Amino acid sequence: MMLGTASGRKRRGKAISDPGPLPKYTGRFGEQQAERLLWRAGFGPKPGEAAALAKHGMRHAVLSLTRPSNQRLVGPAPQLENGQPIEPFDVWGNDVLWWLDRMVRSRAQLIERMTLTWHDWFATSNEQVNSQRLMINQNWTMRNRCLSSFPRMLTAITIDPAMQLYLSLAGSTKQDPNENYARELQELFTLGVDDGYTEMDVREQARALTGWTYTWNADTGQPDDFRFEATLHDDGVKVIYGHHGNFSWRDSLRLVLHHPDHPKFFVTKLWSYFSAEPLSARDTKAAEYLYVSSGKQIRPLVEAMLMHPTLHAGQRMVKPPIVQLAGMLRGIGRYIDTDAWAWESSQIGQMPFYPPNVSGWDATRWLNTGTWLARFNLTAEMIGQQRALDPSKVKVKADPKAMTKQAIDFWGKPTISAPGRHALAAYAQAAAVDSASASWEREQYPVLTLNALRALVVATPDYQTS
């Protein structure tokens, strides 16, 4: 295939040779490894879930996530403080609650996590779309195709109304082609920032993508009837990556998916959602081969990545803010019972349906002085008055080690390292034992300290990462 480069030269895409399969993790797969898997490929374990998953081994654990037996939601339906149901299409923030509820209650955790991945990959914000209904419809489009094939996903997203509004594809005509979607299609969705395409390719792709329009519904005050109209499409000859033809929007997608830079971009970006460490050059080639030879299927590649040694034995990874929020709810057995989670998600740095820009969220900024404080403050809302211990009603033995264990158990028994446990116990010793002299202090300080310990557990590096 002859392709244009930034310098105007041509090059031929080479077939990917088979370097062998991606390696599989062969170490111990115990409760800690299962816990990490559930945080990387879901929203953290519910109490006892990691231990139960570990009993069946790594392969079974991964396949139970990628091939769930059902996608039921388990637990009470979301509601507001006044007991009223949420209105995700019509009330600000209720769209966030709707999806957060699925993150917390769904038995198909990887399906929701992959939906979040695609939401970041094809970042679309309701700030511009201005329709919670269209955004939720797009969310369903991503969910229903999240483990299918990337060509199928890309096709569905290209014609998705929310995306068409967000990147101005709807309304792009042969008289006035808009380059927004054509540019991001290549730079962010399929190829990356490289020398594999030129500004001319962007312009020619924009011409190929013309023809989409919609009708403004005066009754609802919303756009609808998104459709392709041939009379608005530029059917002239275009030159894309050195190919000449009367290319349509489907040809646009076909050409970019067959670009030789696409497989590496795809596997590298997908892997970055599961691991902070890059794949080796050899493993990248293996992932590319698996992706291409499978017909660009997503599920086989995700399964291979979730079994990779680096995911299980590599360095820790900061939890995305909304993942931690959902995981905290899952850990304490709490469900959506307040609209506070909408603005809390914004404070901690990741409000679903409202990514900061078309590039999505910047994972390198998950933890900074502002977002870390917001995560810590989130704990107060998470525990709330109903779960806080009352010194006038509860007695706690002033045993630092036992208090540390109780504080960790409160969050569903997450793995906290020995240094972390030692630091928590040292705080308990100082606050509940060494500082208590009067009899009332010896009675109340342990209770107050245990409340503080609960907050400190989720502030540890062990809990902030997986």
Q: Provide the residue ranges of all domains of the chain, joining segments of one domain with +.
A: 2-71+106-313, 392-466
What tokens does 293 get?
Answer: 């030879």
Cβ burial 298-320 (10 Å sphere, 16+ → b, else e): bbebbbbbbbbebbbeeeebbbb
The answer on pLDDT for 10 being more than 70 is no
pLDDT of residue 297: 98
The answer on pLDDT for 429 being more than 90 is yes
What SS3 class is residue 222? strand
Q: Cα–Cα distance between 122 and 293 in angstroms, integer?
A: 24
pLDDT of residue 4: 33
What tokens does 118 get?
Answer: 């695609």
Q: What is the pLDDT of residues 182-226, one digit of tens each?
A: 999 999 999 999 778 999 999 999 999 999 999 988 888 789 999
Average pLDDT estimate for 274-296: 97
**DSSP secondary structure of 150-175:** HHHHHHHHHT-HHHHHHTT-TT--SS
What is the pTM for the complete model shown? 0.95
- Which stretches within 317-410 are classed as H helix? 321-332, 340-348, 369-387, 400-410
- Minimal CA–CA distance to 90: which of 133, 53, 43? 133
- Residue 14: pLDDT band with limits 50, 70, 90: low
Phi, psi torsion values for 161, nearest 5 degrees: -55, -45
Q: What is the pLDDT of residues 127-144, one digit of tens each?
A: 999 999 999 999 999 999
pLDDT of residue 287: 98
- Which stretches within 41-108 are classed as H helix? 49-54, 58-66, 94-105
Query: Where do we find the tokens 């900074």?
Result: 368
The answer on pLDDT for 13 being more than 60 is no
The answer on pLDDT for 5 being more than 70 is no
| 359: amino acid identity, one letter | S
pLDDT of residue 6: 34
The answer on pLDDT for 370 being more than 70 is yes
pLDDT of residue 294: 97
Q: What average pLDDT does the chain have?
A: 94
Q: What is the pLDDT of residues 300-352, one digit of tens each?
A: 999 999 999 999 999 999 999 999 999 999 999 999 999 999 999 999 999 99
- Residue 99: pLDDT band with limits 50, 70, 90: very high
Average pLDDT estimate for 97-103: 98
